[in-house]
Amino acid sequence: MNLVKAGAVGFVLLMASGGAAQAQNACLIEGEMMSEAIKDCSETSLKIPAADYAEQCSSNSNGPLKATVLKACPPRAQAKCVGPYGQPVTTYYYARSPKSLADTKSSCTAQRGKWVLQP
């Protein structure tokens, strides 16, 4: 599994940890890793205190990656993965190469998520 795909898996699992449902939270991760542009955003409806959510989000910004907490993910994603591992999480992908997008789709479906192109 390449580093980008591994990061996406860890990102989804981290954002899926928490309690009961409430309004959406979103965490946007942007930057470059291994010569590839990264712009991924995960939304969850899990009830997580704002400070804890911000800490979880920022823990995903390793090295050159920047993490930003938002109310919702930006529009115009290339694809999204809905409900991996049965969790109330949707991850959106924006700046992926065709190969990276194909790898991410495989990762999503392996995690029992629903893959949606150009949501």
pLDDT at 64: 84
pLDDT at 10: 44
pTM listed for this prediction: 0.79
pLDDT for residue 1 is more than 60 = no
Q: Do 82 and 113 touch, CB atoms closer than 8 A?
A: yes
Question: For 26-44, what is each residue's pLDDT tens digit?
Answer: 999 999 888 888 899 999 9
